[in-house]
Amino acid sequence: MAKLTNEEIIASLKEMTILELNDLVKAIEKEFGVTAVVAQAPVQEQEPQEPKGPTEVTIMLKEVGQTKIAVIKAVKEATGIDLMSAKKIVDACTPDSPSVIKENVKIEDADAIKEAILAAGAVVEYK
């Protein structure tokens, strides 16, 4: 029997169907007592994706609502400022001109602050 070259073997494999290739792999495994390992293309490292949208926001007090004292306390707690400064922020809020509660806040922290102030009855938005 003549020895086949690698090129001849590859050419023969190219002509086979997937089912024929599968049968060939099983026959080789049985004949030589081995298990075939399927080769995979190397995984390409993905470049880190930049976050979509802003990473920091400014929290704005849009409407105070009916519970002004609760909103002042919530602003004080959320920002760590004194009571008089919190009152000034709340008093400065008008429907036409929202007050800045805190600037350059990470989204995760801003969500916690927003929830606390919303619970007090105010309307908050991000800018």
Pairing of strands 123-126, 99-106: unpaired
CATH 3.40.50.2300 fits 56-126, yes or no: no
- Mean pLDDT, the chain, rounded, equals 86
CB of 60 within 8 A of CB of 126? yes
CB of 58 within 8 A of CB of 104? yes
Alpha-carbon distance of 79 to 110, in angstroms, equals 10
Alpha-carbon distance of 117 to 85, in angstroms, equals 16
pTM: 0.56
**Token match 């060939």: residue?**
24
What are the tens digits of pLDDT across the range 30-87? 888 888 776 666 766 666 666 677 788 999 999 998 889 999 999 999 889 999 999 9
Q: Domain segments of the chain: what residues?
A: 1-37, 56-126
Alpha-carbon distance of 18 to 36, in angstroms, equals 15
